[in-house]
Structure formats: structure tokens, C-alpha cells
Amino acid sequence: MKTWRIDGVPLALDEDVQLLSSLVAAILHIDGNHIDNLQIIRKSLDARRNRPPRFIYNLAFTREEDWSPPANLPAGVKISNVPAEPEPVAFSFSFPAGKQVVVVGCGPAGLFAALFLALHDCPVLLLELGGPVEERHGDVQSFWTRGILLPESNVYFGEGGAGTFSDGKLTSRVRNPYTVWVKKILVEMGAAPEILTDAKPHIGSDRLRKVLINLRKHLLSMGCQVRFHAKMTDLIIHNNHLEGIVVSGVEEIKSDQLVLAIGQSSEETYRLLADRGVELGSKAFAMGLRVEHPQEHINRIQYGRWMGNSALPPADYTLTARLPELNRAVPGTEVS
């Protein structure tokens, strides 16, 4: 059997997803009963002006080795013989048996670094400056409603990182072989299965907190140690080799394996690294801007007379700008 991929299969807003099999069969001029293992790879919305919005599906299916697709396909439909889900690139490494790896930072990078290491039988100690998401939720609400700011437990710092109180948007525009694996882990931890196929997946702010709690429990069940309110305040370096770290100014933790997943708001830690002679490399300067419009206004512009259809998600758009004199561009920024 061969795996085929067919892209660009349209479905009207009021049509049931169960129709996909018969639609694919009609496009390929074959009996629907002969389409095996039909799977949705990606679902996107085509809401270009002056025509009814519709969903566009990319699908995978299997057929006999000697089957070949028809030469003439409807406009916008493409078919290719490629794997539906490429396997992640193998990443090989080895640590001395039993040697503890310290991961600093409990945002997405730190959580998945800890998970990846634990899956490879590495003892992991995960440290986080802020608090667990249950405690952090109350601290953030206090700031939003009463203006009480806790320097080490706020929107920036704490379990889940800066994205915990967002809508859980997963769009990265980066092609990485681990993307599917990350999304599957999130689904296992309680995210909706739709994030595996939606072109612009969102976990949702309420569900995201539950996902974080489940992921923490999963890490603990794998033997990881997770400590909150644990701030890395110094490095123990001897003869240019890391021997450990200092936590909260008093506790020494011995380890020569350290993963820093500290986010972009940890200026104090970056200064510490520079003071201790750690080589740092700068990234290209980037600045983010937030543009807000009433959702109804964007929906009306994007959907026109179809606005209000229950099958349509909240509309968004992409804002881009290019500066020829600097040969620089503001990359596409989603606005909603």
C-alpha cells in the first residue's frame, strides 16, 4: 500500500465532514469503499471576498501499490505520494547513567525539554522562579483587578511561561519535524484533538491551564523533580567548567548539565551569565506591536453577509510591512 496526500478538498460550511470520503472518491473517480485510512491532515478556512466561505481540507489515504491518480484534477486540488506525517528527525545524545540534568524555566521550552530528557531516561530537576499555575492564576487576577503586582509571580513568570494567560495560540510558521509530536503531547494532556489539524490551532486559555497541570503531573510520574519559587542566582564554575548552580542565594545543586529555558524577560539571568564569562550571542532585533479591533468589526470585513454563521471562527487577518531602504520587513502578524 502507498500513502497519498490530496490537498485542497473544499467543503461548504453547512456540509458534514463525513462527506469528505465521497468527495475524494468523486475527485479521484474511484469507489469510495476503496479509499483506505482517510485522515485529515489540515483544515483551513477560505474566506476570500465575494464568495461563500468554505473549509479546505488536506487529507491522506492509502491505495494499492499499482494505483495512480487521474491526470485531470479540479482547480486547486493537488495530489502527491508523500508520507502524511514525517517522523521526527532522530536526535541522539548520551549522558552518564544517573547524572542529573537541571532545567531552569517552566515555560513551554523548559517543560518540553524536561519531558524529552525524561523520555530518554535522564534524571531531571525542573526549577521555576514563579509558582504553579493554580497559585499563579490568583496572583494574576489580583494584579488585573486590584493592581497588586508580585515581581516573581505574574503574567511573565510562573508555570507555563508568558503564554499561560493567552488564548494558547500554536501558530509558529516554523517547519519542524517535532511539531506533530508536540501537538500530540498537548492532546494527551487535555487539549482538543482539533489542534492536530486546524491551520490556526488554539488550545484556549481555560483549557491551557488544565493542560499545564496534567503535564506537570505526567512529569512527576516519570520521576522528574519540579520545584517552584526556586530562583537560580549563581553558577558554580571551576576551570571554565560548570559544576553546579546556586538556588535562592543559599542552596548549591551539583550538576554539570544545565538547560536554560528562561525566556526573553530574564534580564537578571542574562547579566549573571555575562558576569560569569558565559559566551552569549545576540539575535536580530525584534519588536512586537499589539493591534486591537472589535471582533465584530473584523468579522464583518472578513465574512461580509456570512457573518454570524455558527460554523465560522472569529476572524483574523495578517498585517505585513516592508522597508526597502533597510531591506527589512515586519513579518506577518496575526491581528484579532
Task: Return the CATH number at 259.
Answer: 3.50.50.60
3-state SS assignment for residue 280: coil
Answer whether residue 281 is part of any domain.
no
Domain span at 25 = 2-80
Q: In the predicted model, is pLDDT for residue 88 greater than 60? A: no
Task: Name the pTM for this structure.
Answer: 0.82
Q: Are residues 220 and 327 in the same domain?
A: no
Say yes or no: 22 and 113 in one domain: no
pLDDT at 184 over 80: yes
Whether the CA torsion 327, 200, 336, 53 is positive or negative: it is: positive
Instruction: Say which residue, 287 or 126, is predicted with more confidence.
Output: 126
- Spatial distance between the Cα atoms of 72 and 59, rounded to a whole number of angstroms: 18
The H helix count followed by the E strand count for the chain is 7, 13
Distances (CA, A) of 63 to 4, 32, 60, 139, 246: 7, 12, 10, 55, 59
Rounded percentage of the chain residues whose pLDDT exceeds 70? 91
CA distances from 177 to 3, 31, 43, 91 (A): 18, 34, 19, 11
Helix (H, G, I), strand (E, B) or coil at 40: strand
Residues 29 and 138 in one domain: no
> Amino acid identity of 196?
L
Banded model confidence at residue 85, pLDDT cuts 50, 70, 90: low
Last residue of a domain, one of 27, 45, 80: 80
pLDDT in tens, 6-31: 999 999 999 999 999 999 999 998 88
pLDDT tens across 222-263, in order? 999 999 999 999 999 999 999 999 999 999 999 999 999 998
Residue ending a domain, among 18, 50, 80, is: 80
Residue 190 shares a structural domain with residue 305? no
DSSP 201-261: -B--HHHHHHHHHHHHHHHHHTT-EEEES--EEEEEEETTEEEEEEETTTEEEE-S-EEE-
The residue assigned the cell 494505483 is 67
In a domain, 21, yes or no: yes
CB 181 within 8 A of CB 85: no
Do 74 and 212 reside in the same domain of the chain? Answer: no
Buried b (16+ CB within 10 A) or exposed e, 252-274: ebebbbebbbbbeebeebeeebe
Residue 85 in any domain: the answer is: no
Greater pLDDT, 67 or 101: 101
Identify the three-state secondary structure at position 310: coil
186 shares its domain with 134: yes
124 and 268 share a domain? yes
Domain boundary among 80, 114, 148: 80
Q: What is the pLDDT of residue 86?
A: 55
Tell me, yes or no, whether 266 and 316 share the same domain.
Answer: no
Torsion of CA 193, 195, 196, 199, to 10 degrees: 140
